[in-house]
A = this chain, B = another copy of it.
Amino acid sequence: MTIAEVCKRCGVTADTLRYYERVGLIPPVGRTRGGIRDYTETDVNWITFIRCMRSAGLQVSALVRYVALFRKGDASLPARKAILVQQRALLAKRLENLRDVLGRLDAKIANYEERCAVWERKHLRK
């Protein structure tokens, strides 16, 4: 699969895909004799996974550590799990906070609803 096809499928730019590979966010991608990247379905799965985690705010550095461990084989299973568990905890904390802030925002909006209504009545009467 060419980089352009992967871009389309995953909704990322070629620059981003090359960047991901360069910093180790995904394992190295195979090449044709000409040196052109030839993505496999497995590569696409990695990209999808990384995009998913990044979309939730997991740091590149943590994911890089994860991918590096992955490349060392089964002996790294516990270490990889540890990373996931730790990231999960961070994520849960942020989720909790977002929930809380959303609540506050809703309260504030309700308040505005009120005040806007009052303000409009005042101006209609005028």
Contact = CB atoms under 8 A, between A and B. Distances in A.
Contact of A56 (B52, B81, B101, B116): B101
Interface stretch (A11-19, A23-31, A86-94): A86-94
A105 B81 contact: no
B98 A102 contact: no
A95 interface: yes
B116 A52 contact: no
Contacts of A36: none
Given A81-B116, A85-B109, A109-B84, A104 B74 contact: no
A7 to B, nearest CB: 21
Contacts of A98: 56-57, 91, 94-95, 98
A81 B99 CA distance: 20
B113 A77 contact: no
